Amino acid sequence: MLAWQDLITAALVVASFCYATWSLMPARWRQILTGAMLQWPLPAWARLRLSKATAGGACQCDGCEQSSPAHAAEKKIFFMQRRP
């Protein structure tokens, strides 16, 4: 039983390490690594996800690409003075 727990723990540690490394890696390095990984024979869902990661900007949030003038409506700012 202990061997299975060790294997599951090791798999979780490796997965956490890979996620942290990928998240903290500079965007340019991620793009280079993703481009190299796209050369491998991968399933369609993995290729789609990697191609989306390569096409994104530096922040990978896709927030800038979805903005439109309709969402950027100007709001008037009101300043309220405190009474002494």
- Where residue 60 falls (left for φ over 0; alpha for ψ -120 to 50; beta otherwise) is left
The string of pLDDT tens digits covering residues 15-67 is 999 999 988 989 888 888 888 888 888 889 888 888 877 665 555 555 555 55
Q: What is residue 72's predicted lDDT score, i.e. its pLDDT?
A: 58
User: How many CB atoms are closer than 10 A to CB 18?
Assistant: 10
Q: What is residue 35's predicted lDDT score, i.e. its pLDDT?
A: 86
- How far apart are the C-alpha atoms of 11 and 70, rounded to whole Å? 46
Let me know: does 44 contact 52? Beta carbons within 8 Å: no
pTM of the predicted structure, to 2 decimals: 0.53
Let me know: does 60 contact 29? Beta carbons within 8 Å: no
> Any idea which residue has 């050369």 for tokens?
39
